Structure 1
Amino acid sequence: MARNNFNLLVAISVFLLVALPLASGEECSSKYEGGCHDKNAALKLKVIAIFCILVTSMIGISLPIFTTSVPALKPDGDLFVIVKAFASGVILATGYMHVMPDSFEDLTSPCLPQRPWQKFPFTTFIAMISAVFVLMVDSFSSSFLKKKLALSSSSNNLEDPAITEPKELEHLGHGHGHVVANGNDKNVNAEDEQLLRYRVVAQVLELGIVVHSVVIGLSMGASENPCTIRPLIAALCFHQLFEGMGLGGCILQADYGTKMKTIMIFFFSVTTPFGIALGIGLSKVYSDTSPTALIVVGVLNAVSAGLLNCMALVDLLAADFMGAKLQGRMKLQLWCYVAVLLGAGGMSVMAIWA
């Protein structure tokens, strides 16, 4: 999956490099133009933004992973559940309050032809298809991995009925000393199915965040308006910190090995700075109001919005709130709802400055 993320970044970069310079947006003025326009000052702020966002992103995604030594922050602890609910609210608000409005703005821009862009709600349509696609990927991936795990377990049991762990589970890093025998086989399978689901959720969620991060970084990198960039730095740092905590919690629950954790931390941390650097490089030929740029960025934002909204509601919030831990403890469930509202509210307020 990490390799797929890298391929996606390369594909987006090449597409933008080839397509955007070919489009002309002379009939529309840039949304970044105005009284505050200073190329040198904007460049300094963008360099600062690359460093600040990189550091903040690394801190956010690493906090859940490297605080497992604190008993209260372990995945089965109450505080971890509350923090994860807060971060899930941040991810939910990111999709609804940041990404989707940006897509609406791009795909309904007066710089695009009235037909079909003004006549059909492409943003919500693409977001809907994206959400269904996420469910398909989630479902098919889980089915495939379950069948693969079942075949591996059956094969190992035929060779040695008293084997402790099938090789597949050792590779997954899931070793709790259960015996794969007639008495305990059902319990092990249930645990491994949950682990596989955590892994699918973590990978698909990171994919959606990577797409959005490149797009938003590109927009900042292409801007030459320091009055716009300055508040964006603070908003994006807040955004990356708590979005990273949400993703970091999912990675922690997925129980990856050190190598895979490092790869996922790296991709999350560098995508927004990469987008900013790409925008700086394209600033001379990139027109944020050219028809091609508006369509490409608008479609990518719509896809990301559908993915983030689906993941936040179905795989993060619904999975936790309908799970046995919260269903059996009303007080903890109430605190988690408060955390969700605080996270979503805080990220929504950031839309004023973003």
Structure 2
Amino acid sequence: MSDASPTATSSSSTPSGTYASDGTWCGNGGGSDTYFGLRIGSVFVILACSMSGALFPVLARRTKWLRIPKPAFEFAKYFGSGVIIATAFIHLLDPAMDELGSPCLTDGWSEYPYALAFCLMSIFGIFIVELVAFRWGSAKLAKLGIPTDMHTHGFGGAPGPTHTHGSEKVDEESRAPGPAESASQLSDVDADYKAGLQAGASGSNVLDTPASQIIGIMILEFGIVLHSVLIGMTLAVDESFITLFIVIIFHQLFEGLGLGSRLAYMRLPSSLNHVPVIGAILYGLTTPIGIAAGLGIRSSYNPNTQRASIVSGVMDAISAGILIYTGLVELMAHEFLFSREMANASTGKLVYAITCMCLGCGIMALLGKWA
């Protein structure tokens, strides 16, 4: 029998035993037990912050007595766009590069920028999925006798009107409520859905269909949820618990507001009004579940092990690609470059929207200094 340790390796850049060449512990276990009571309490604190951030815009949007002014929603929407973009680059892509460049991994992982490769694959994957879904949706509308325009602009989740290259007069007339159905008789959510259907009838923006909106928000939430579970598990065992705990409170609150503002402005029929609420609740649960899981396996879980580094690195890279695509294409491009509302907006409103987005991006990027 060989006297060598079964985990030993002859490569100088891989761990010797359970330690890397720089002294990093690469074996199982190693989770910190300090502030254990506060770590348990963090499950409920993060749950409250995440849930309130995501649910508040959704419930405020559909609650009669809680009349939140539209500028407040617009601030949350543009601020949230900046948060999502900064999350992609600072809180996902950079950690993915660190994790897949961990000294606990074998030489093969350092021979190629795998984190960037997985991110790139994710971007093209999401692009292809949306392209196929768009063409499929257009074909379905054509079979129903509704003309389609491949040059339509606008994102289904945005509160502003969509834009097609048809007659503007017909477009505006088709959006106006009939005499028996004035805007005052409709809830904000139902009015938005009716406007979306009427815009679809005149210009057929396939991005305004309920199915396409649900797919779009699912893609966005999938990227956020993966990240939320991983940071929850890290918080449960990290030695720098206090600093990370404070940062994640703000992180989850801001990210929740960004997602919640998108969910609040989905144009859906009454039968699907529960979808935004479910989406907000799902977001609110993911990080606390990650913390609870991390606490449950803290004696055996070490984020620096080869398996943990590979899994978290790949997931972070994929999530980064999803949020980069969503942030740059679905949020920035459709809300600024291809939005008729923004094209017709005053310079002051445009500057305000960009400032809100830069503020969200700047604050979230600053939080990356500590987490």
Query: How is 1:301-312 mapped onto 2 (pairs within 5 angstroms)?
Result: 301-312=316-327
Q: Which amino acid aligns with 2:93?
A: M
CA–CA distance in structure 2, aligned partners of residues 149 and 96 of structure 1: 37
Bigger Cα Rg: 2
Confirm whether residue 98 of structure 1 aligns to residue 98 of structure 2.
no
1:72, distance to aligned residue in structure 2 (A): 5.7
Match of 1:247 in 2: 259
Query: How is 1:172-211 mapped onto 2 (pairs within 5 angstroms)?
Result: 176=194, 186-187=201-202, 189-190=204-205, 193=208, 196-211=211-226
> Of Structure 1 and Structure 2, which has the larger fraction of its residues in helix?
1
Match of 1:350 in 2: 367
Task: Judge conservation of contact 1:25–1:287 (CA < 8 Å) in 2.
Answer: no
CA 1:288/1:153 → structure 2, altered by over 3 Å: closer, same or farther? Answer: same
CA–CA distance in structure 1, aligned partners of residues 304 and 293 of structure 2: 17
Task: Judge conservation of contact 1:95–1:306 (CA < 8 Å) in 2.
Answer: yes
Q: TM-score, normalised by structure 2?
A: 0.73
Task: Judge conservation of contact 1:218–1:278 (CA < 8 Å) in 2.
Answer: yes
CA 1:191/1:276 → structure 2, altered by over 3 Å: closer, same or farther? Answer: same
Match of 1:337 in 2: 354
1:242, distance to aligned residue in structure 2 (A): 1.5
CA 1:185/1:348 → structure 2, altered by over 3 Å: closer, same or farther? Answer: closer
Match of 1:82 in 2: 75
Match of 1:264, SS state, is helix
CA–CA distance in structure 2, aligned partners of residues 95 and 121 of structure 1: 17
Task: Judge conservation of contact 1:30–1:288 (CA < 8 Å) in 2.
Answer: no
Match of 2:109 in 1: 117
CA 1:42/1:145 → structure 2, altered by over 3 Å: closer, same or farther? Answer: farther
Match of 1:58 in 2: 51
* 2:60 equivalent among 67, 75, 97: 67
CA–CA distance in structure 1, aligned partners of residues 202 and 366 of structure 2: 44
Confirm whether residue 214 of structure 1 aligns to residue 229 of structure 2.
yes
CA–CA distance in structure 2, aligned partners of residues 179 and 112 of structure 1: 53
Match of 2:10 in 1: none
CA–CA distance in structure 1, aligned partners of residues 101 and 144 of structure 2: 51
1:83, distance to aligned residue in structure 2 (A): 2.3
Match of 2:194, SS state, is coil
Q: Structure 2: any 5+ residue segments left out of the alignment?
A: 1-14, 147-177, 179-188
Confirm whether residue 134 of structure 1 aligns to residue 146 of structure 2.
no
For each residue in 1:163-188, what CA deviation from the matched residue of structure 2 results, as whole angstroms up to 9, or x when unmatched? x9xxxxxxx977538998xxx97426
Q: Which amino acid aligns with 1:94?
A: T
Q: Which amino acid aligns with 1:296?
A: V
Q: Structure 1: any 5+ residue segments left out of the alignment?
A: 1-22, 155-163, 165-171
Match of 1:176, SS state, is helix
CA–CA distance in structure 2, aligned partners of residues 300 and 190 of structure 1: 33
For each residue in 1:123-158, what CA deviation from the matched residue of structure 2 results, as whole angstroms up to 9, or x when unmatched? 11111111111111222223333433444567xxxx
Q: TM-score, normalised by structure 1?
A: 0.76
